[in-house]
Amino acid sequence: MLSLHSLNIKNFKNFENLQLSFNKEVTLLLGSNGAGKSNFFNIFKFLQISTKFDIKTYLKSEKTSALNLFFNWNKENSIIFNINFLFNNKDSLSFSFLLSYKSTKEIVIEQEKIFLNNNLINQTSGITINEFQIFKSNKKNSYIKLIHKYLSNILIFSFYHNNLFLKRSSIIKTLDNKKSKNTNLKLKQDFSNLGQILYNLQFTNKQAFQNIENAISQIIPVFNGFDFQSIQNTHFLKLKYKLSFSKHKASLKSASDGSIRFFSLVTLLSLPKNQKPSLLLLEEPEIGLHPYGINILSDLINYYSKDKEIIVATQSPLLINNDKIEIFHVFNINKETGYSSLFTFNKKNYQELLEHYSLSDLWKMNILGGTPLW
């Protein structure tokens, strides 16, 4: 089994030299608007889409040009990636490569290398355009297969993108009850199969389904459980939810954006291990949630992290006060240069202050950085 240990990225977007070690469970990222959190998430979008498809697909999905990937738009400098994993919690497995600018739609990939315990075990010769060669030419190598599977199964959710939730028709899908025994169905990045996931869980993992309903009912008092209504003369169902005050079943179309966000978040964070992505990244998941809902969210993040890695970028004081998180990372941006830097903080170094203040207090006082006043 692979877990993300650290990464070193040079000359990518506004990161001249980014180095970060990841926590075993929850990696928490803080920072003011424009400090680099979204660009950090873009690193993983790039890795996920480029390894699963190719770089051209990534550029198209982001509606950007190749030049925008390069630090300070300097196409003379190469982008260097070095991603380090732990294999079975003991061995070091690394993947590195170099990117160079060719045109607005094309990037040269070279020096693709795989290391096991710092020993080179595989590398590509020559260069390719937009496509990783190492994953295509070495399909039988078990280590390469592991890395490819891990990177291509990363999932990133940015909750400030309202279009995912305003397009409610993408969430209110009809459900094929013939698929109800599929225990490995993955939740899609746009939540378009949310209903199918919930329907399946009734049969494949009743405890997870009940946990989802219980968590939602704590935040939405009128929620009284999900309901799956048959569509006449078909084998399809429609997802609705029961109301505590009425026999009427409500569709998700009538729910608020905040409610739909919470339905989606709770489902995502309550999935069984076999349905979770290799790595989950949540960008500002607190948006639209009541403070009590954010406390529930914090508990769900802790629960999720027991068996899978999760990275959370937030500006919520309530999430920052998560007792389970000992180490967190703060992005700051230099307003003169536009370069992002990263500082790592360990609670152990702030014990005296934490006897009198919470972590969110220290953040708001700018002691930790990561505010517009930095």
Over residues 227-279, the pLDDT tens digits come to 988 877 777 788 899 999 999 999 888 888 788 889 999 999 999 999 999 99
Average pLDDT over every residue of 33-50: 92
Average pLDDT over every residue of 7-21: 93
Confidence band, pLDDT 50/70/90 cuts, at residue 168: very low
Output the pLDDT for position 125: 80
pLDDT above 90 covers a percentage of the chain that reads 50
Confidence band, pLDDT 50/70/90 cuts, at residue 153: very high
Confidence band, pLDDT 50/70/90 cuts, at residue 313: very high
**Cα gap 40→36, rounded to integer Å:** 6
Average pLDDT over every residue of 356-371: 78
Amino acid at 163: N
With residue 57 as reference, give the H or E element that holds it. Answer: helix 55-62
pLDDT at 211 over 50: yes
Report if pTM > 0.85: yes
Average pLDDT, the chain: 87
**Cα gap 3→21, rounded to integer Å:** 12
Output the pLDDT for position 43: 96
DSSP character at residue 172: S
Confidence band, pLDDT 50/70/90 cuts, at residue 323: confident
CB 83 within 8 A of CB 47: yes
Q: Alpha carbon 366 to chain centroid distance?
A: 27
CB 121 within 8 A of CB 115: yes
pLDDT at 182 over 70: no
Confidence band, pLDDT 50/70/90 cuts, at residue 8: very high
Altogether, the residues listed in the chain come to a count of: 374
**Cα gap 175→185, rounded to integer Å:** 13
Report the DSSP pairing between strands 154-158 and 279-283: parallel
**Cα gap 252→171, rounded to integer Å:** 8
Q: What top-level class would CATH report for the domain 2-153+326-364?
A: alpha beta
The DSSP string of 68-135 is GGBGGG-TTSPEEEEEEEEETTTEEEEEEEEEEEEETTEEEEEEEEEEETTEEEEE--SEEESS-SHH
Neighbours of 8 (CB within 10 A): 15
Q: What are phi and psi of 258, to 5 degrees?
A: -60, -40
- Domain assignments of the chain as residue spans, ordered by start: 2-153+326-364, 170-258
* Tokens matching residue 366: 């700018």
Q: Alpha carbon 172 to chain centroid distance?
A: 23
pLDDT at 160 over 80: no
Average pLDDT over every residue of 119-147: 89
Output the pLDDT for position 35: 82
pLDDT at 106 over 50: yes
Residue the block writes with tokens 């629960």: 303
pLDDT at 371 over 80: no
Residue the block writes with tokens 């219980």: 214
Output the pLDDT for position 113: 95
Closest-CA residue to 84 (of 96, 72, 94, 98): 94
pLDDT at 173 over 60: no
Residue the block writes with tokens 């999905």: 61
Confidence band, pLDDT 50/70/90 cuts, at residue 171: very low
